[in-house]
């Protein structure tokens, strides 16, 4: 493991300059608001849809799948815009201002299909900003391994603050109302305006480049990179179960302030995000990813037997920090370190496309049908059976990854048609 870490240079180096404070502050506020928007309503939308709008669990699964559809449809397109056409800060402003309008619509409608269409419209605008905000950050920091976790942790704090606000600032029973959606709309509006103050991040590709979408897919020709993306895709199918039904699960187990309980996972995420650079240095990328995937299997196993002792459920929630940071956050860093500089925006978008997109969509649909299958005619859900499904899936992904993945030093070579440049476009672009 130590040799792999050294070869890939995951260790922070004192040779790289520190991140300027003005840039750090703006990127930190961006990350805070980026995830506060999502965290304001995502973990409690299932309450509102179940208890107030009376949607079925299968319909709730379909509704949650809209975010993944947004990744599938628009993330690669947005990556190309960021690489070739428009500065990233302007894309952030446009998408978040439009998203604010659609969140207000979601707060106003009551039928399933109007809610579904409004949610899909929001997802088409919001989901690309996950990749664009990462790409914008990587473009403006001297050392991705050293600096990115200290920025991304502000996103976690934003999610926590939004979740606590739902329980304590929006009034009693807010999770059963449209108030979280209204709060998310206001935050999205603020972020849209604030995005205009972000560091100028112009497209890094040239007009004569091969289409970044196709060049990013060419990365998968590398066996280890293809295995990494394939396992990432598979394990996010299991991830969808957590986002879809943890709130309902906690409610059925009689937890008070379920939205706050779920923020325990984000609180642990802060700790493990700050530990991520040290873990990468000590154990290498493969070691970190293995720990992250193992945490998924353990978490769902604890949920499956949590009815025996509720403390096991709390431990499973707290494991979110390991699950997210040591797999998905590390995955974004690995993608940035591997991709050629001129297609980093599209490479980040490709990772989001396969994980937050295709994997989450399939996972949301499966989770909805699994939960519906194990729910009786009287509305009682056998959560032990529900959680055993993703536990087995995560364990299978872990075994495949351990057996098949072999990392290699350096960038992944992208073979392009004759006449197109392969190398980064210059020192300024390569200093991510």
- Find the radius of gyration of the CA atoms of the chain: 21
pLDDT in the model for residue 354: 81
pLDDT of residue 358: 86
Query: Which pLDDT tens digit goes with each residue over 95-151?
Result: 999 999 999 999 999 999 999 999 999 999 998 888 788 888 888 888 877 888 788
Question: Was domain 22-201+210-407 assigned CATH 1.20.1250.20?
Answer: yes
List phi, psi (to 5°) of 421.
Answer: -70, 150
Q: Is the pLDDT of residue 232 over 80?
A: yes
Predicted confidence at residue 414, as pLDDT, reads 45
Per cent of the chain over pLDDT 90 is 34
In this structure, what DSSP letter does residue 153 have? H
> What is residue 179's predicted lDDT score, i.e. its pLDDT?
93
pLDDT score recorded for residue 76: 58
Which strand (E) or helix (H) includes residue 68? helix 57-70
pLDDT score at 321: 87
- Asked whether residue 346 carries a pLDDT value surpassing 60, the answer given is yes
Taking every pair of Cα atoms in the chain, the longest distance, rounded to a whole number of angstroms, is 65
Average the pLDDT over 59-76 and give the result: 82
Cα distance between residue 183 and residue 51, in whole Å: 20
Residues 301 and 305: their CA atoms lie apart, in Å, by: 7
**299 pLDDT tier (thresholds 50, 70, 90):** very high
Which residues lie across from 381 on neighbouring strands? 375
Residue with tokens 């392009």: 416
Note the pLDDT tens digit of each residue in 307-343.
Answer: 778 899 999 999 988 988 898 888 888 887 777 776 7
- pLDDT value of position 213: 55
The mean pLDDT of the chain is 82
List, as own/partner pairs, every contact residues 414-419 make where C-beta atoms lie below 8 angstroms and the sequence separation is at least 24, other chains included: 414/215, 414/218, 414/219, 414/340, 414/343, 415/218, 415/221, 416/210, 416/215, 416/218, 417/210
Instruction: Pull the structure tokens for residue 212.
Output: 């970044």
Q: What is the mean pLDDT of residues 275-281?
A: 88
Token pair recorded at residue 413: 């070579």
The domain segmentation of the chain, as residue ranges, is 22-201+210-407
Q: Please give the pLDDT value at position 223.
A: 82
* C-beta separation of 298 from 21 below 8 A: no
The pLDDT assigned to 417 comes to 34
| CA nearest to 123, candidates 86, 88, 98, 87 | 98
pLDDT for 328: 84
pLDDT at 324: 85
Nearest to 315 by CA among 255, 268, 257, 272: 268
80 has pLDDT over 80: no
Q: What is the pLDDT of residue 208?
A: 40
Residue 78's pLDDT is 64
CB-CB contact of 273 with 152 (8 Å) = yes
If you average pLDDT over residues 243-247, what whole number do you get? 84
Q: How far apart are CA 68 and CA 72, in angstroms?
A: 6
- Between the alpha carbon of residue 204 and those of residues 83, 136, 340, 346, the distances in Å are 5, 11, 11, 11
Name the β-bridge partners of 375: 381
Q: With 80 as the cut, is the pLDDT of residue 353 above it?
A: no
Across 3-7, 289-293, 333-337, 399-403, least confident range: 3-7
Per-residue pLDDT reduced to its tens digit, 206-216: 544 445 556 67
pLDDT band at 6 (very low <50, low <70, confident <90, very high): very low
> Tens digit of pLDDT for each residue in 174-197?
888 899 999 999 999 999 999 999
Q: Residue 302's pLDDT is what?
A: 95
- Name the token pair of 299: 């978490």
Q: What is the mean pLDDT of residues 280-285?
A: 88
pLDDT band at 79 (very low <50, low <70, confident <90, very high): low
What one-character DSSP code corresponds to residue 359? I
Residue 8's pLDDT is 47
Q: Which residue has the tokens 């493991």?
A: 1
């Amino acid at each position: 493991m130590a040799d792999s870490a050294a070869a890939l240079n995951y260790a922070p180096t004192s040779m790289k300059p520190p991140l300027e404070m003005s840039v750090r502050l703006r990127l930190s506020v961006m990350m805070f608001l980026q995830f506060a928007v999502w965290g304001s309503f995502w973990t409690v939308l299932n309450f509102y849809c179940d208890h107030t709008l009376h949607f079925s669990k299968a319909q709730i699964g379909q509704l949650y799948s809209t975010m993944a559809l947004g990744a599938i449809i628009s993330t690669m397109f947005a990556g190309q815009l960021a690489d070739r056409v428009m500065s990233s800060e302007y894309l952030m402003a446009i998408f978040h201002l439009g998203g604010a309008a659609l969140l207000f619509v979601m707060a106003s409608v009551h039928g399933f299909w109007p809610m579904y269409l409004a949610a899909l419209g929001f997802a088409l605008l919001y989901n690309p900003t996950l990749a664009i905000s990462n790409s914008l950050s990587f473009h403006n920091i001297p050392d991705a391994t050293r600096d990115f976790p200290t920025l991304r942790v502000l996103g976690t704090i934003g999610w926590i603050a939004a979740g606590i606000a739902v329980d304590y600032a929006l009034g009693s029973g807010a999770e059963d109302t449209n108030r979280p959606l209204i709060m998310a709309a206001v935050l999205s509006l603020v972020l849209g305006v604030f995005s205009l103050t972000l560091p100028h991040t112009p497209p890094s590709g040239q007009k004569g480049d091969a289409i970044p979408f196709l060049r990013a897919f060419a990365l998968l020709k590398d066996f280890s990179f293809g295995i990494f993306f394939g396992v990432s895709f598979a394990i996010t199918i299991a991830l969808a179960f957590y986002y879809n039904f943890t709130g309902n699960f906690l409610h059925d187990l009689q937890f008070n302030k379920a939205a706050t309980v779920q923020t325990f996972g984000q609180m642990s995420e802060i700790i493990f995000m700050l530990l991520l650079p040290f873990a990468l240095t000590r154990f290498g990328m493969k070691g970190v990813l293995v720990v992250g995937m193992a945490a998924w299997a353990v978490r769902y196993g604890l949920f499956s037997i949590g009815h025996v002792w509720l403390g096991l459920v709390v431990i499973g929630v707290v494991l979110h920090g390991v699950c997210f940071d040591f797999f998905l956050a590390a995955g974004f860093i690995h993608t940035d370190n591997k991709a050629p500089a001129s297609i980093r925006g599209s490479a980040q978008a490709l990772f989001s496309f396969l994980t937050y997109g295709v994997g989450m969509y399939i996972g949301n649909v499966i989770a909805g049908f699994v939960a519906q299958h194990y729910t009786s005619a009287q509305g009682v859900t056998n959560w032990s059976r529900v959680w055993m499904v993703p536990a087995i899936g995560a364990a299978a992904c872990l075994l495949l990854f351990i057996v098949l993945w072999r990392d290699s030093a350096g960038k992944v070579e992208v073979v392009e048609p004759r006449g197109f440049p392969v190398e980064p476009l210059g020192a300024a672009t390569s200093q991510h």
